[in-house]
């Protein structure tokens, strides 16, 4: 399912117009991204936790040349599913 299909399902389930549902879905994703970018996690009960995690500097290899390179420290997005969500997927 992609974002457009998600918006269609939201429109059907809530009874709102498709265009409004698309704006709603887009706003939710934007809010999650902006909140994580500022360093704050987004915890949705029963679904999971979105957060920004730090990565340490490490050594890597250039796959084309095999040359060892230094990979800088940075950040990556992280999602940890809630117990209820994990259980739903294993039924």
Beta-carbon contacts of 25 under 8 Å, excluding residues fewer than 6 positions away, are 3, 6, 7, 10
- pTM equals 0.79
Residues 52 and 81 in one domain: yes
Could you give the number of structural domains in the chain?
A: 2
Kindly indicate the confidence band of residue 91, based on its pLDDT and cuts at 50, 70 and 90: confident
Residues 36 and 54 in one domain: no
Q: Average pLDDT of the chain?
A: 95
Kindly indicate the confidence band of residue 1, based on its pLDDT and cuts at 50, 70 and 90: very high
Pick the closest to residue 52 from 61, 42, 60, 44 (CA basis).
42
Range of the domain at 50: 46-90
* CATH, residue 75: 4.10.520.10
């Amino acid at each position: 399912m992609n974002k457009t299909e998600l918006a269609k399902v939201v429109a059907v389930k809530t009874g709102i117009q498709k265009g409004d549902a698309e704006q709603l879905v887009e706003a939710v994703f934007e809010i999650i991204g902006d909140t994580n970018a500022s360093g704050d996690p987004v915890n949705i009960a029963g679904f999971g936790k979105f957060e920004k995690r730090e990565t340490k500097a490490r050594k890597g290899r250039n796959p084309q040349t095999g040359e060892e390179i230094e990979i800088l420290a940075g950040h990556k997005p992280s999602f940890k599913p809630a117990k209820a969500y994990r259980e739903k997927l294993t039924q």
